[in-house]
Structures are given as structure tokens and as C-alpha cells.
């Protein structure tokens, strides 16, 4: 089994666990990117943090 096959299997296993977390733990933000989007929204209100974010993404 090559390195690519092992990598694909590992990715599939991690994603399957992610789906299980989202299915069985409905109120959690661990299995999705919701926490990242909330952090972005919060950064907009702070001009210094948003300037840093905006500078890094150009």
C-alpha cells in the first residue's frame, strides 16, 4: 500500500469521525468551521485585528 493510499484512508477516517461528531453532538462546534467564522466576525469589530487579518490575506 503506497503513501497516497494511506493518506487517503487517513483522510476518509478523519472525515467519517467528523460526520459522526456532527450527527451525535448536535450542539457542538467542534466538527465544523463555525468557530472560525465567529472569530472572523469578531475580528471585524476590532480595527487592529482586522487590519492584521486583511494584511495577511492580500
| pLDDT cut 70: percent of the chain above it | 64
**Rounded-to-integer distance, Cα 9 and Cα 47, Å:** 42
Q: Is there a contact between 31 and 23 (Cβ–Cβ < 8 Å)?
A: no
Confidence of residue 56 (pLDDT cuts 50, 70, 90): low
Query: How many domains is the chain built from?
Result: 1
Range of the domain at 14: 3-56
Average pLDDT, the chain: 77
What global pTM score does this model have? Answer: 0.50
> CB-based contacts of 19: which residues, under 8 Å, 6+ apart?
31
Residue range 13-41: mean pLDDT, rounded: 74
Half-sphere exposure of 20 (CA within 13 A, CB side): 6
Amino acid at each position: 500500500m503506497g503513501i497516497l493510499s494511506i493518506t487517503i484512508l487517513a483522510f476518509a477516517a478523519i472525515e467519517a469521525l467528523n460526520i459522526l461528531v456532527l450527527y451525535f453532538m448536535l450542539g457542538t462546534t467542534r466538527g465544523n468551521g463555525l468557530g472560525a467564522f465567529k472569530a472572523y466576525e469578531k475580528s471585524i469589530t476590532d480595527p487592529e485585528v482586522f487590519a492584521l487579518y486583511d494584511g495577511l490575506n492580500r
